[in-house]
Amino acid sequence: MSPPYRLLLCDLRSDQVLDSLPVQQLSLDDYIGKAGSMSGTVPIPNGAVAARARAAIVPGRTAVWLERGRDIWWGGVLWTASLTSDARGFLGVQIQAGTWDTYLSHRLLYDTFTATGVDQYDIARGLIDYVQNSRGGDIGIEYGTEVSGVPRDRVYSRYDLPAVRDILDQLGAVEQGFEWRIASYRDNNGRRVKRLQLGTPTIRTGHSEIVLDHPGPVMSYTWPVDATVRANTWQSRGGTDNDNQAADSVPKLSALQVAEQDLADGWPRLDGSSDYTTVSEQATLDAHAAADLAAARAGTVIPEVTVDMSRALVSPALLGSTVRLRIRDLWHPETLNARYRVVGLAITPPERGRPESARLFLEAA
């Protein structure tokens, strides 16, 4: 039997516990490279629970930690709540929350930020400091002192009013860039932790592989291949090349990036482009174009496997780790046996006879 899930509601700034409430119809997911989410319904069986829920469920101000047993399985900011009443008069509060990084989408850069020859990890940490050193802005995001060894020159203008999350995404999306996320866990002292996790070029965690078999713990899988976003030639547009507003101006263009090997292998030419309107440095624009081309060459191939959690050790700690997937069926008569990195995870808790399962989103390791 799987451990029960519990909703821990805290003050976002102080992390002081406000209440712990049961939750039904729960779903949660977390990813590397995009925000995760959590949704569920807090049942309201009586007036006492209603009073507790009114005090603790404050969208935009309440932090949500989801515990499975004593372990933290998810953490984030409560953004929406909706009181519902069904035909029989049963009340519930439907809640939706986003992982801690969604808070950075609500924080804008009101001051020009400049870095010259600074390790890209230190720029990322400097942006987190900017957020948390402002009055009312500290939500307790922690970080380490590791370095990437890749220095960057960056200027982010206050006149663009960029969201800090967008800046972090853009900073990492270049050649020799990095991935980032804010992990939630309980440390060895039992303390709840929100920690900035960085990895160049990707986040890698775990030391031992988990083997997943189909047939076996893998109940089902989906293997989409999408060439509508594939490209082998790329050019990116940057900011204007003219500071004189009275004169005509055109955007800067990156060097044209061409995957010559694709064309030599017989692929038709497939063009792509991207916009970085706040980028004015040619070298930075070229690095964005090169990274975008590398991502576009493969198209979109994100295998998804659904795992019976009673038959495999699955937890949010799998994000960034490597699994060995073995599939034998009509499509794979000689058995697929390959390594993949877990880049996303969605948990479906057990409820009313439904087994606890996890969907793992994978990329080639």
Residue 111 sits in the same domain as residue 217: no
Residue 205 falls inside a structural domain:
no
CA angle 171, 174, 175 (to 5 degrees): 140
Residue 195 sits in the same domain as residue 123: yes
Choosing from 70, 99, 128, the residue where a domain stops is 99
Q: Provide the 10 A C-beta neighbour count for residue 37.
A: 19
pLDDT at 212: 95
Q: Is the pTM of this model over 0.85?
A: yes
Residue 30 sits in the same domain as residue 87: yes
Give me 91's structure tokens.
């009340």
Residue 158 sits in the same domain as residue 68: no
Residue 135 sits in the same domain as residue 277: no
Rg over CA atoms, the chain: 23
Pairwise CA distance, residues 149 & 310, whole Å: 42
Domain count, the chain: 4
Which CATH number fits the domain that encloses residue 192?
A: 3.55.50
Which residues in the chain come in under a pLDDT of 70?
A: 1, 207, 241-247
pLDDT at 242: 65
Give me 145's structure tokens.
């002192």
Contact 55, 44 (CB under 8 A): no
Pairwise CA distance, residues 70 & 85, whole Å: 32
Residue 183 sits in the same domain as residue 111: yes
Question: What range does the domain containing 55 cover?
Answer: 5-99
Give me 139's structure tokens.
């939500």
Please write the tens of the pLDDT for every residue from 349-359: 887 777 899 99
Which CATH number fits the domain that encloses residue 26?
A: 2.30.300.10
Choosing from 79, 99, 119, the residue where a domain stops is 99
pLDDT at 282: 92
Choosing from 83, 99, 115, the residue where a domain stops is 99
Residue 134 sits in the same domain as residue 87: no
pLDDT at 170: 94
Pairwise CA distance, residues 11 & 16, whole Å: 5
Residue 151 falls inside a structural domain:
yes
Contact 241, 230 (CB under 8 A): no
Q: What is the 3-state secondary structure (H, E, C) of the chain?
A: CCCCEEEEEEECCCCCEEEEECCEEEEEEEECCCCCEEEEEEEECCHHHHHHHHHHCCCCCEEEEEEECCEEEEEEEEEEEEEEECCCCCEEEEEEEEEHHHHHHHCECCCCEEEEEEEHHHHHHHHHHHHHHCCCCCCCEECCCCCCCCEEEEEECHHHCCEHHHHHHHHHCCCCCCEEEEEEEECCCCCEEEEEEEECCCCCCCCCCEEEEECCCEEEEECCCECCCCCCEEEEEEEECCCCCCCCCCEEECCCEECHHHHHCCCCCCEEEEECCCCCCHHHHHHHHHHHHHHHHCCECCCEEEEECCCCCCCHHHCCCEEEEEECCCCCCCCEEEEEEEEEEEEECCECCECCEEEEEEEEC
